[in-house]
Amino acid sequence: MKRTIGMKSIVALGMGTSLVLWVSSKPNRIKLENTFRDLKRKVKPSAIDKSNSLPVEKGGHPDPQDIEDNKMVSEGAMYSVKFYNEKKQ
């Protein structure tokens, strides 16, 4: 007598069905997503650190000799002041 479906297949099918039913509810799906996100951070912490940082080279420290940059910054500052004044009036 030959078995066509093994016990391992039945157990795997049951576990898969249970997982699908469990993930079908939104709170459980959110828990699973958070768990995968935490595991991802533990496995590859450097990838997440790089994505949170901005590629700013000279932010906050303008060079006084860089005329074009200083001009751009002053124009930007004047734009916001002008916008604020127009809204107030």
Average pLDDT, the chain: 77
pTM of the model: 0.38
Question: 89 falls in which pLDDT band (50, 70, 90)?
Answer: confident
Give per-residue pLDDT as tens, 17-51.
998 998 899 999 999 899 998 888 888 766 545 55
Residues contacting residue 63 through CB under 8 Å, at least 6 positions apart = 69
Residue 75, token pair as written in the block? 């124009």
- Using an 8 Å Cβ cutoff, are 32 and 23 in contact? yes
* Per-residue model confidence as pLDDT tens digits over 6-17: 888 899 999 999
CA 28/CA 35 separation, integer angstroms: 11
Higher pLDDT, 22 or 84: 22
Which strand (E) or helix (H) includes residue 60? none
Give the closest residue to 9 by CA, choosing from 1, 17, 21. 17
